[in-house]
């Protein structure tokens, strides 16, 4: 038996309905915020992620699905959506549109991570990216958009943790302080941290090893090294959040796992997710566009994992309606299956959700299936019904029966739904 690759899964039945409902809610929400959809290719030139996401990140060093095509070009299945969104912005000259340009996507992403609950090798993420505004109001609006999604879905117990990791100048100062601290603790840190201390000290703060975490509790606080501009920016973001009634916790240990962030960084943490507790995360990334060869374009965005949202929904038993039941189930005796096929098709063309038997079951078994399907009405086509073009419609919940000319059925059902 060939199975789906490790860390991947099929989506069907009730799960597919949950995905679809969730996607619908997200699309509507984005319309309300004036954010338009972006769809990018599943794979990009590898260089985009090397330059965009950062050579020293786990994603680029260990997790990318990279391959060469027949022309020996190196391609990578997208591990995230921000670098592709920047590439698309540049490629289509979106800089000449009125700014900010506000884009969102719901796409699949690929990371060769160790699979566990909430962590897969193919997953879906809802991402939003705002391009062309340096204003803290853009950071706050993005954060509010994610927050509104949780409210709409009825997901409670989400905590917004927010931090500022400053701009390039603040970071230079902070990196020096952090390197000094790490240097003094080197023998207590894991080999990966030791290596990162030289290449990208901020990454050290992201280490998940318990021993390292204990040591890093005493690391210098990044917020205390912020320059006046970054401090003011952060203060304004927090002010907007307060004005919008969005509760937050300032957490100077939030640094994010990707290299492109500047100033604001944040995560939405849920207590229902176990060890993969981040429902989503994001931040400002004012230099990514230049890193991939474009002009300077300030930007801010987030990514929220669709599977993690569904886990949180399930944990809170707020899962969206499962399979949507048909309005009517049409049963037929064996000699009238053509009639049932024609009637069902006609109802569907008129926008009515109708089911009929496509398994060659007995009439008794068909009626059992009608019951199971949760249909609101059922009717049976026998020889008499076909000849008179009329049938008795039964309301399943009450047993109430109505005989009617079948030509009137669409009109009747449309009124009832």
Residues that bind ligand HAM (CB under 6 A): 80-82, 111, 113, 118-120, 123, 125, 127, 129, 257-258, 278-283, 285, 301-305, 307-308
Closest residue to ligand HAM, judged by C-beta, is 305
Spell 299-334 as b/e; 16+ CB within 10 A means b.
Answer: bbbbbbbbbbbbbbbebeeebbeeeeebbbbbbbbe
Q: How far is the CB of 226 from ligand HAM (least distance, A)?
A: 20
| Distance in Å, CB of 258 to ligand HAM, minimum | 6
Shortest separation between residue 121's beta carbon and ligand HAM, angstroms: 7
State the minimum distance, in angstroms, from the CB of residue 8 to ligand HAM: 11
Of 282 and 326, CB closest to ligand HAM: 282
CA 223, 224, 230, 233 dihedral sign is positive
At 65, is the secondary structure helix, strand, or coil?
coil
What is the Rg, in whole angstroms, of the alpha carbon atoms belonging to the chain? 27
Between CA 22 and CA 69 the distance in angstroms is 35
Strand partners, 405: 390
Report the distance separating Cα 29 and Cα 269, nearest Å. 21
Task: Please identify, using beta-carbon distances, which residue of 114 and 415 lies nearer to ligand HAM.
Answer: 114
Residue 181 CB, shortest distance to ligand HAM, in Å, is 25
- The least distance separating ligand HAM from the CB of residue 2, rounded to whole angstroms, comes to 23
The tokens describing 314, both together, are 């399930």
Which CA distances in Å does 250 have to 62, 125, 159, 208, 265? 30, 25, 11, 20, 10
Spatial neighbors of 135 by CB under 8 A, at least 6 apart, are: none
In the complex, least distance from residue 413 CB atom to ligand HAM, rounded to whole angstroms:
41
Q: Would you give the DSSP letter of residue 122?
A: E
- Separation CA 271–CA 146 (nearest Å): 17
Vertex 213: Cα angle to 212 and 218 (nearest 5) = 100
Cβ closer to ligand HAM: 274 or 374?
274
Nearer to ligand HAM, 280 or 326 (CB): 280
**Closer of 60 and 409 to ligand HAM (Cβ):** 60
Give how far Cα 275 sits from Cα of 29, 208, 258, Å. 28, 11, 19
Q: How far is the CB of 85 from ligand HAM (least distance, A)?
A: 8
Q: Nearest distance from residue 93's CB to ligand HAM, in Å?
A: 21
CA–CA distance, 108 with 311 (Å, rounded to integer): 17
**Please, what is the minimum distance in Å from the beta carbon of residue 292 to ligand HAM?**
14
CB closer to ligand HAM, 42 vs 401: 42
Longest dimension (CA), the chain: 93
In DSSP notation, 333-355 reads -GGGHHHHHHHHHHHHHTT--EE
Based on CB atoms, which residue is closest to ligand HAM, 153 or 380? 153
Helices (H), 125-224: 136-153, 168-185, 191-199, 201-204, 210-216
């Amino acid at each position: 038996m060939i199975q789906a690759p490790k860390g991947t899964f099929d989506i069907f039945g009730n799960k597919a309905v949950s995905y679809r409902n969730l996607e619908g809610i997200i699309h509507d929400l984005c319309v309300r915020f004036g954010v338009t959809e972006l769809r990018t290719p599943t794979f990009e030139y590898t260089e985009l992620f090397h330059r965009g996401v950062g050579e020293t990140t786990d994603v680029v060093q260990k997790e990318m699905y990279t391959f060469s095509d027949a022309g020996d070009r190196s391609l990578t299945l997208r591990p995230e959506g921000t670098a592709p969104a920047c590439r698309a912005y540049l490629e289509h000259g979106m800089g000449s549109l009125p700014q900010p340009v506000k884009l969102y996507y719901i796409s699949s992403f690929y990371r060769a991570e160790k699979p566990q609950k909430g962590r897969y090798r193919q997953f879906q993420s809802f991402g939003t990216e705002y391009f062309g505004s340096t204003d803290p109001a853009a950071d706050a609006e993005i954060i509010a958009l994610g927050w509104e999604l949780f409210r709409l879905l009825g997901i409670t117990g989400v905590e917004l943790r927010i931090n500022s990791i400053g701009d390039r100048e603040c970071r230079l100062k902070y990196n020096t302080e952090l390197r000094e601290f790490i240097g003094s603790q080197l023998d207590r840190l894991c080999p990966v941290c030791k290596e990162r201390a030289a290449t990208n000290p901020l990454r050290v703060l992201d280490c998940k090893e318990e021993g390292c975490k204990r040591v890093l509790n005493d690391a210098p606080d990044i917020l205390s090294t912020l320059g006046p501009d970054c401090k003011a920016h952060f203060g304004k973001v927090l002010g907007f959040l307060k004005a919008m009634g969005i509760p937050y916790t300032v957490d100077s240990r939030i640094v994010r796992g990707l290299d492109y962030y500047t100033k604001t960084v944040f995560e939405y943490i849920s207590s229902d997710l176990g060890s993969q507790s981040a429902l989503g995360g994001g931040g400002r990334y004012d230099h990514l566009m230049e890193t991939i060869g474009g002009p300077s374009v300030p930007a801010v965005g987030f990514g929220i994992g669709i599977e993690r949202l569904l886990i949180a929904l399930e944990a809170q038993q707020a899962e969206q309606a499962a399979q949507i039941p048909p309005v009517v189930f049409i049963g037929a005796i064996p000699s009238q299956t053509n009639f049932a096929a024609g009637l069902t098709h006609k109802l569907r063309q008129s926008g009515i959700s109708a089911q009929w038997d496509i398994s060659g079951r007995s009439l008794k078994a068909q009626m059992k299936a009608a019951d199971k399907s949760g249909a609101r009405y059922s009717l049976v086509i026998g020889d008499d019904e076909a000849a008179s073009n009329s049938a008795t419609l039964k309301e399943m919940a009450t047993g109430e029966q109505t005989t009617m000319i079948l030509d009137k059925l669409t009109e009747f059902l449309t009124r009832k739904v």
